[in-house]
Amino acid sequence: MRTPFKKFLASGNVFIWGCAAGVSVSLLMVFGLLLLIMINGLGYFWTSDIVELTLKDQQHVTGQLAGREVIPRSVTPDRPEGRGRLRVKIGNRDLYGLDFKWVNDDQIVSQTYPADVVLLERREWGNMYGRIKALYKGETLLAAGNEGGWIALAPLISTTNALHQQITRIENIEIGSINAEIESARLKIRAFEMGNPSSPSPSTREGKEERSGPSGLLTTESTERGPIGNLEAQVADAESRYQQKTIELETLRAQFNEHSVVMVDANGREKQIPVGQIIRALRPNEMGLLHKSWTYLTNVWSVLSKEPREANTEGGIFPAIFGTVMMVIIMSLAVVPFGVLAALYLREYAKQGTSVRLVRIAVNNLAGVPSIVFGVFGLGFFIYAIGGTLDQLFFPERLPTPTFGTGGILWASLTLALLTVPVVIVATEEGLAAVPREFREGSLALGATKLETMIKVVIPCALPGILTGLILAMARAAGEVAPLMLTGVVKLAPSLPVDSSWPFFHFDRKFMHLGFHIYDVGFQSPNVEAAKPMVYITTLVLITVVVLLNFTAIILRNHLRKKYAGSVL
Amino acid sequence: MMWRHIFDQLAQVVITMGGIAVILSIIGIFIFLVKEVAPLFFPPQGTPTGHFSGTPPPEALPQSSLVGMDEYQEILYQLTAGSDHQIRFFNARSGTPMTHDLPSGLAKAHITSIARAVGSGNRFAFGTDDGHIIPVTLEFAASYEEGARHIVPTVTLGSPVQLTSPKEQIIRLAYQPTERNTLAVAMTDQGRLWYSATSVATAPVALTGHGTEPVTALIFDSRGETLSIGTAGGNLYHYDVREGTQPKLIETTSVAPAGTSVTALSYLIGDRSLAIGTSAGDVSVWMPTRQAQESLTTRFRLIHQFDVHPSPVTWISPSLRDKGFITGDTQGNLFVHYSTSAQTLLKFPGNHQAIRTLTFSSKADGAVALTDRGELLTYAIHNPHPEITLATLFKLVWYEGYEGPEHVWQSSSGADDFEAKFGLLPLVFGTLKGTLYAMLVAVPLALLSAIYTSMFMHPDIRAKIKPTIEMMAALPTVILGFLAGLWLAPLLERIFPAMVAMTVALPASVAVTAILWQYLPATFIRRLRPGIESFVLLPVIIGTVWICLSLNQPIESFLFGADYKTWFATHWGLRYDQRNALIVGFAMGFAIVPIIFSISEEALSNVPRHLIAGSLALGATRWQTLVKLVLVSASPGIFSAMMIGFGRAIGETMIVLMATGNTPIMDWSLFNGFRTLSANIAVEIPEAPHGGTLYRILFLAAVLLFVFTFLINTVAEVIRQRLRTKYSQY
């Protein structure tokens, strides 16, 4: 036995198996990670049944099962080992203060799935589980009991949802544009005053004197008082329209909160909520597979298309997706010309020698410089140096509130462009190098200039390489967070960088980003436990984007290699 | 035809310029970062700005004059003993006296001593020849008219208090109003020391604890809790004068050699550090420090010493915004010191006229001094980052409230009188610690995988496996950080014993599989493609992990008795934090595995095939060929792979930010967190005002990261290129 064992050791086979284990562990880590994110992320959209537990102390626990585990020793050091407990999402945060509850197996008397339990998805305080007791319009009773209430509730919810859309539209778009009008008029007034501190022109002097008068405000006859007067009239007009809108909003809100529903939980605790607070009412235990699948799809869609609620822990992630995409697009617009220019120079125009080799190494190594360093540079250079100067030159009337002198989507994109420019340079160079020499020589021999050779022969051939570089740069940019934290990403942006008010693209605006959303929701939100599903979903979306981009790059690269595989050398 | 060539030439120029510009801008990044850091290390600048004539101070009285200026340094003031014009104002630019009517209360008083209250605001007390003290407040109201600033001084007198008997002259005085209390201590021409406080309803008491030694300096701290008395014998007496109590002598310290007297005392902002000047010209800072770790009693100790004045120190004035102070001597020298860094920053040479008194401006950007002959001297001081030297950044520094010199990073706190602690070493330490643990996880895993993939795997399988592992590199690190912080950290806390068991069980299970495998029929094995081992091992590893996890509690009982946390605490004195270095090691290791894997796989695959074939043909086993030939010739490539992985881990921000507690401590323990340079930038830069000291230090951290990673990557790149040329020779 001894000799074969020695022989076995000497053959080194066991070490080869050890190496194989390295591959296995790496593979397990990759797939395990993807699986973990998929299960947690995709599971969130599924509406699971509502369980009703009856405990030994005659208390009831209603909610969705969120997991089970063996009770860890740290919780019950003196208990016998191996007992389990259930984790139940009990919702009703406004009643209980907690979203989740642990229930030990040995406390449970019975476990049922009653068909009539209602799940209310609400705009605030998370889900509510319970039964309907009564439905009111103001003080008058509309329907009583779970069944009657359920039937009467459904049409009301669709009405309030429509109202909610209307209210949001008025608040965000109509009132928003009025505010923008007022703000821009005010800024023009300020700019005017600053531009003409002691102007000899009679019209402005008049305006100025009027301003420094005791009242400080213009009232009537403003049309005769020069440009400032006109602007003041504009402001007054906008303000009166604003008042009208506010009144309109008031009536809508009253309608919105007209109906209310009284819910009762399994232990008899009651809670009255306005129907306007309800987004959707479901009876998961009654739903068939088809209905649940449909709900699943609508859930996915609403996360992808809606705004976040409840400090980003609920609702959708649309602004983050939009911000990420916008940022990546602006970055691409900046990075491609510069990266291609530098690569063309290095590969086609510069004299190949030691200095170009050194530059190439430097460019290569820049890709290894930590991203936070680029963030610091972006903060110091783009925001404070360039942005600060821009503000002083073009937006002095807004100071001390900075316009470009603070983080914004433009600065973040440029910072990331700087970060990813080495990727584009390297990939483009690779693409250029793969274009066979004969192509160039053929073109030049036929009388084309170097520029024509570049534009018509070399660059089209190298296009897959350039695209590969761009896609890799996009994938890197989509996943970077650290530099963005310094250059303009925020947890909740009040408005998107693109909207309907002039000039449509607002490069100075702060924006939301999927990666930062993960950090913020997972680590900065007060209720991390309730926020976890949202983090997993965001992660899933981000990973999908990044992995898809990478796959595209790999396919393009292979395509490039195959295309020239025959002709190289 | 012409145009084509012109375009061609133009393109040549544009592309060359553009290309060079892009490359220069890359260098520009570095230059810009350095430019932002540089002001930290600029030497402080100072110039004497003015030289005016004021009132000569009465020769015989030791505390006969005080000078100062308003916040904007537009008005100088001088308080002088005597019976008229005790307060005078001057224009700080021209030196012309300003007319100002003094309150009538001063007309009747004959002033013999003047004291300034410690802290902000221009609060003073006059001591008179009949034992009264008169509180005085100077205020400067700024008004703006047509864009110009006008500053108008006002003088407010408090009601006089009888401190000593009317027959005694007050010649030394210390005075400190606090929120609910007003303290005063006066030395009279008869050599007696009287103390009074409004919170104690008794008549003034005589202090006798210092014996017969002549008193040469008196000072309260700004909270009115301690009275310090310096004597001609070089001793310092501390009285506890907290609100509502009788003064109690608590400590006597010898702060100067015998025969040298204490000539000036001043608390620095925060009341912890006491700056002491002596007749020998010594300037030092003393602090109360705890005797032992748990002891409650403190003793005054010498902490910092500064450059010695050539002649006796006459006055010390503290800065109101940091731990800086200025000192003057009898030859007219004015020195600027900074306590934390123990540095004398600036020296203004004197003109052999003794400085009687001086004051640091409230923004620490100027000073005013009064000489023996009544000359008012003004100085401008420009030193925006006084606390920063290479020593305060990287060496041990004795901070206020510490028992000894330490490396500390603590950039801010709620209090205004906080001493900022900018020791970068804990952050460098944290960076290295995180990187080390990440490397411990990543290097074995990546190298084993690379060896196997390049040497023992069928090319078809390899073509699938390699991109899969490389795909890990594309995973945003924020995702790894989130999983590490929110999923792995709580999980590992529960299954740590199973983890420990896995370190033994996993290799064992692999070895057992290997042994069992060779008993399989050879015909069966031959039909399989090389590379099957890693797939055979998948279920084995999953199974082993599952067994370990389900045996978690028995393993814990077996290895650690009851609870592993208590076991580590009692046996090794280690405390388990949920977000610790182990978690970062796994997460960051995960992030750098693909980089190390990819580069070392490339190095291994590029070892010329005919060398390997030769080795195998000569009868070496696969393993021998690997160890003796392939690894040796690829070792530079593997080394450079590790360097690049190292460089990546050093700068990683999000994982560290999310997976550790970000506490800047220096401890190698596996179970507690740390703070890295990169995470520190992310945490602190939102709070750092543009151009401030913290802002520049964070830029310095960025420069350090830049230089470090750039160097590492360059070395790695050079090694790789050399290797490539070497192989191409075959």
pLDDT (tens digit, 9 = 90+) per residue, B5-33? 888 888 888 888 888 887 788 788 889 99
Q: Is A267 on the interface with B (CB under 8 A)?
A: no
Domain finish residue from A229, A258, A282: A282
User: What gap in Å lies between CA A320 and CA A302, rounded to an integer?
Assistant: 14
CB spacing of B479 vs A380 below 8 angstroms: no
B387: distance to nearest CA of chain A, Å?
A: 22
The residue whose two tokens read 């002095």 is A396
Question: Is residue A15 in a domain?
Answer: no
> Nearest chain B Cα to A449, which residue?
B8
DSSP H helices, A345-454, are 354-366, 371-377, 388-394, 409-434, 437-445, 450-453
Q: What is the pLDDT of residue A218?
A: 42
Q: Is A479 on the interface with B (CB under 8 A)?
A: yes
CB spacing of B475 vs A479 below 8 angstroms: yes
Token code pair at residue B20: 């060079």
Closest Cβ–Cβ partner in A19, A421, A449 for B456: A19
Q: Is A115 on the interface with B (CB under 8 A)?
A: no
A180: distance to nearest CA of chain B, Å?
A: 28
Give percent of chain B with pLDDT exceeding 70: 98
B204 and B349 belong to one structural domain: yes
Q: What is the pLDDT of residue A79?
A: 57
Q: What is the pLDDT of residue A493?
A: 77
Bridge partners, B262 (sequence order): B278
Question: Is residue A10 in a domain?
Answer: no
DSSP SS3 for B584: helix
A355: distance to nearest CA of chain B, Å?
A: 12
Domain finish residue from B410, B444, B479: B410
CB spacing of A418 vs B29 below 8 angstroms: yes
Q: What is the DSSP letter of A509?
A: S
Contacts for B688 with CB less than 8 Å, ≥ 6 apart: B694, B695, B698
User: What gap in Å lies between CA B701 and CA B690, rounded to an integer?
Assistant: 16
B456 and B370 belong to one structural domain: no
Q: What is the pLDDT of residue A413?
A: 93
The residue whose two tokens read 């003041």 is A232
Question: Is residue A289 in a domain?
Answer: no
Q: What is the pLDDT of residue A377?
A: 93
B238 and B137 belong to one structural domain: yes
CB spacing of A8 vs B476 below 8 angstroms: no
B406 and B439 belong to one structural domain: no
Q: What is the pLDDT of residue B15?
A: 85
User: What gap in Å lies between CA A561 and CA A567, rounded to an integer?
Assistant: 10
Q: What is the CATH number of the domain that holds A330?
A: 1.10.3720.10
CB spacing of A363 vs B541 below 8 angstroms: no
Within 8 A of B647 by CB-CB distance, chain A residues are 368
A472 and A539 belong to one structural domain: yes
Cβ–Cβ under 8 Å, residues A103 and A63: no
B440 and B320 belong to one structural domain: no
> Nearest chain A Cα to B702, which residue?
A373
B388: distance to nearest CA of chain A, Å?
A: 20
B391 and B446 belong to one structural domain: no
Select from B84, B117, B205, B701 the least CA-distant residue to B409. Answer: B701
Q: What is the arithmetic mean of pLDDT over A140-149?
A: 81
B293: distance to nearest CA of chain A, Å?
A: 32
A228: distance to nearest CA of chain B, Å?
A: 22
> Domain total for chain A?
3
Within 8 A of B538 by CB-CB distance, chain A residues are 24, 27-28
B405 and B476 belong to one structural domain: no
> Nearest chain B Cα to A362, which residue?
B714
First and final CA of chain A: distance in angstroms?
56
Question: Is residue B595 in a domain?
Answer: yes
A236 and A172 belong to one structural domain: yes
Domain finish residue from A64, A80, A115: A115
Q: What is the pLDDT of residue A564?
A: 61
Question: Is residue B518 in a domain?
Answer: yes
Closest Cβ–Cβ partner in B8, B483, B514 for A17: B514
Cβ–Cβ under 8 Å, residues A273 and A260: yes
CB spacing of A345 vs B448 below 8 angstroms: no
A425 and A554 belong to one structural domain: yes
CB spacing of B710 vs A26 below 8 angstroms: no
Rounded to 5 degrees, φ, ψ at B269 are -55, 135
Q: Is A368 on the interface with B (CB under 8 A)?
A: yes
User: What gap in Å lies between CA B516 and CA B518, rounded to an integer?
Assistant: 6
Total CB pairs under 8 A between chain A and B: 309
CB spacing of A27 vs B469 below 8 angstroms: yes
Select from B86, B116, B113, B111 the least CA-distant residue to B101. Answer: B86
Question: Is the pLDDT reported for residue A202 higher than 80?
Answer: no
Residues of the domain holding A195: 118-282
Token code pair at residue A485: 């934290």
A458 and A393 belong to one structural domain: yes
Token code pair at residue B453: 């993939």
Q: What is the CATH number of the domain that holds A78?
A: 2.30.30.720
A538 and A480 belong to one structural domain: yes
Rounded to 5 degrees, φ, ψ at B264 are -150, 140
Band of residue A220 on the pLDDT scale cut at 50, 70, 90: very low
Domain finish residue from A282, A298, A326: A282
Select from A376, A547, A524 the least CA-distant residue to A472. Answer: A547
Select from B317, B315, B351, B319 the least CA-distant residue to B333. Answer: B351
The residue whose two tokens read 């203060």 is A97
CB contacts under 8 A, A 381-440 vs B, are 381, 384-385, 418, 421, 425
Rounded to 5 degrees, φ, ψ at B131 are 80, 15
Q: How many CB atoms lie within 10 A of CB A500?
A: 9
Closest Cβ–Cβ partner in B18, B444, B538 for A28: B538
Question: Is residue B571 in a domain?
Answer: yes
Q: What is the arithmetic mean of pLDDT over A263-280?
A: 84
The one-letter code for the residue type at A130 is: G
How deeply is B621 buried, as exposed, middle or buried, from its count of CB atoms within 10 A (0-12, 13-18, 19+)? middle
**E strand or H helix at B335, and its extent?**
strand B334-338
Strands A100-104 and A259-264: unpaired
A105 and A218 belong to one structural domain: no
String of DSSP letters for A393-405: HH-GGGTTS-SSS
Domain finish residue from B678, B697, B725: B678
CB contacts under 8 A, A 233-262 vs B, are none
Q: What is the arithmetic mean of pLDDT over A207-219?
A: 40
A100 and A131 belong to one structural domain: no
Closest Cβ–Cβ partner in B19, B23, B474 for A546: B474
Q: Is A77 on the interface with B (CB under 8 A)?
A: yes
Q: What is the CATH number of the domain that holds B343?
A: 2.130.10.10
CB spacing of A17 vs B537 below 8 angstroms: yes
CB spacing of A452 vs B8 below 8 angstroms: yes
CB contacts under 8 A, A 500-539 vs B, are 515-516, 518-519, 522-523, 528, 532, 535, 539
B113 and B175 belong to one structural domain: yes
B121: distance to nearest CA of chain A, Å?
A: 29
| Lowest-confidence pick of A210-224, A348-362, A418-432 | A210-224
A367 and A476 belong to one structural domain: yes
String of DSSP letters for B89-122: EEETTT--EE--PPPGGGTT--EEEEEE-SSSSE
Q: What is the pLDDT of residue A380?
A: 92
A219: distance to nearest CA of chain B, Å?
A: 27
Give the total residue count for chain B.
730
Q: What is the pLDDT of residue A569?
A: 35
User: What gap in Å lies between CA B210 and CA B236, rounded to an integer?
Assistant: 9
Cβ–Cβ under 8 Å, residues A470 and A335: yes
> Nearest chain A Cα to B621, which residue?
A11
Cβ–Cβ under 8 Å, residues A505 and A478: no
User: What gap in Å lies between CA B91 and CA B49, rounded to an integer?
Assistant: 13
Question: Is residue A137 in a domain?
Answer: yes
CB spacing of A17 vs B456 below 8 angstroms: no
More confident residue, A200 or A434: A434
Closest Cβ–Cβ partner in A25, A363, A376 for B541: A25
> Nearest chain B Cα to A483, which residue?
B682
DSSP SS3 for B586: helix
More confident residue, B233 or A399: B233
Which of A369, A485, A486 has the highest number of chain B CBs within 10 A, making it the mutation to test binding with B? A369
Question: Is residue A482 in a domain?
Answer: yes
Buried b (16+ CB within 10 A) or exposed e, A426-443: bbbbbbbebbeeebbeeb
User: What gap in Å lies between CA B495 and CA B508, rounded to an integer?
Assistant: 20
Within 8 A of A528 by CB-CB distance, chain B residues are 486
Q: How far is CA B397 from the centre of its chain?
A: 10
Bridge partners, A119 (sequence order): A129, A282
DSSP H helices, A257-367, are 289-305, 318-344, 354-366
Question: Is the pLDDT reported for residue A78 higher than 80?
Answer: no
Cis before residue A370, ω within 30 degrees of 0?
no
Q: Is A446 on the interface with B (CB under 8 A)?
A: no
CB spacing of B494 vs A72 below 8 angstroms: yes
Question: Is the pLDDT reported for residue A127 higher than 50?
Answer: yes
Within 8 A of B444 by CB-CB distance, chain A residues are 22
CB spacing of B449 vs A19 below 8 angstroms: yes
User: What gap in Å lies between CA B90 and CA B76, rounded to an integer?
Assistant: 5
Band of residue A139 on the pLDDT scale cut at 50, 70, 90: confident
B499 and B398 belong to one structural domain: no
Question: Is residue B688 in a domain?
Answer: no
B40: distance to nearest CA of chain A, Å?
A: 15
B404 and B448 belong to one structural domain: no
> Nearest chain A Cα to B551, which residue?
A82
String of DSSP letters for B213-269: PPEEEEEE-TTS-EEEEEETTSEEEEEE--TTS--EEEEEEE-S-TT--EEEEEEPT
> Domain total for chain B?
2
Question: Is the pLDDT reported for residue A434 higher than 60?
Answer: yes
Rounded to 5 degrees, φ, ψ at B258 are -55, 140
B114 and B223 belong to one structural domain: yes
Rounded to 5 degrees, φ, ψ at B620 are -70, 145
Question: Is residue B683 in a domain?
Answer: no
Token code pair at residue B52: 């005016």
Q: How far is CA B118 from CA B89, B172, B222, B244, B368, in A?
A: 21, 15, 5, 20, 17
Question: Is residue A210 in a domain?
Answer: yes
Rounded to 5 degrees, φ, ψ at B310 are -70, -15
A137 and A104 belong to one structural domain: no
Closest Cβ–Cβ partner in B19, B478, B517 for A345: B19
Question: Is the pLDDT reported for residue A73 higher than 70?
Answer: no
Question: Is residue A307 in a domain?
Answer: no
User: What gap in Å lies between CA B164 and CA B204, rounded to an integer?
Assistant: 7
The residue whose two tokens read 């997972």 is A522
Question: Is residue B663 in a domain?
Answer: yes
Residues of the domain holding B58: 46-410
Question: Is residue B417 in a domain?
Answer: no
Read off the pLDDT of residues B435-478 as tens digits, 9 standing for 90 and up.
999 999 999 999 999 999 988 888 888 888 888 888 888 889 99
User: What gap in Å lies between CA A4 and CA A193, rounded to an integer?
Assistant: 97
Question: Is residue B357 in a domain?
Answer: yes
B375 and B473 belong to one structural domain: no
Within 8 A of B685 by CB-CB distance, chain A residues are 376, 379, 486
Question: Is residue A398 in a domain?
Answer: yes
Closest Cβ–Cβ partner in A345, A485, A535 for B486: A535
A111 and A129 belong to one structural domain: no
Listed as ranges, residues in chain B with pLDDT below 70 are 1, 201, 292-294, 413-414, 416, 730
User: What gap in Å lies between CA A305 and CA A298, rounded to an integer?
Assistant: 10
First and final CA of chain B: distance in angstroms?
49
Select from B407, B370, B414 the least CA-distant residue to B392. Answer: B407
> Nearest chain A Cα to B508, which residue?
A18
A69 and A156 belong to one structural domain: no
CB spacing of B654 vs A482 below 8 angstroms: yes
CB spacing of B4 vs A366 below 8 angstroms: no
Within 8 A of B689 by CB-CB distance, chain A residues are none
Q: What is the DSSP letter of A170?
A: I
A431 and A479 belong to one structural domain: yes
Q: How many CB atoms lie within 10 A of CB B440?
A: 13
